[in-house]
């Protein structure tokens, strides 16, 4: 067993997730390929979305992969950081909007 839960070289193992369940794994990769390639949205736009999701989900593998992909696409540091703020503010908003449930319960239950 590795000394850390996350090892940087494990990113290269991503393609091996087809092991033990190749049908599902291969179908995932087909879907992943189609979803992240240029379509109505450009490759740059999709890569910034992927980077933002990687940040909000705290995935070190995806952060590594998509920061590098952004650099390769010539996406600037400023653009990447703006995307991070979109994710960050969405996460903050998502947390805060759920206070509605909390506030409704407080108001219903309180005398």
- The binding site for other proteins (CB under 8 A) comprises 12, 38, 42-44, 68-69, 71-74, 76
The CA-CA-CA angle for residues 41, 42, 43, to 5°, reads 125
Show the 3-state SS of 22-53: HHHHHHHHHHHHHHHCCCCCCHHHHHHHHHHH
Tokens 């998509």 sit on residue: 66
Residue number with CB closer to other proteins (26 or 76): 76
CB 73, min distance to other proteins, A: 4
Residue number with CB closer to other proteins (73 or 92): 73
Residue number with CB closer to other proteins (35 or 99): 35
């Amino acid at each position: 067993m590795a000394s850390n839960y996350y090892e940087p070289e494990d990113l290269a193992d991503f393609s091996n997730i087809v092991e033990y369940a190749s049908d599902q794994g291969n179908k995932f990769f087909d879907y992943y390929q189609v979803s992240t390639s240029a379509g109505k949205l450009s490759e740059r736009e999709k890569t910034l979305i992927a980077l933002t999701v990687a940040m909000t989900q705290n995935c070190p593998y995806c952060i590594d992969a998509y920061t590098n992909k952004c650099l390769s696409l010539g996406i600037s540091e400023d653009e990447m950081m703006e995307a991070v703020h979109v994710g960050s503010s969405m996460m903050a908003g998502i947390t805060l909007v759920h206070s509605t449930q909390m506030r409704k319960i407080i108001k219903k239950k309180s005398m």
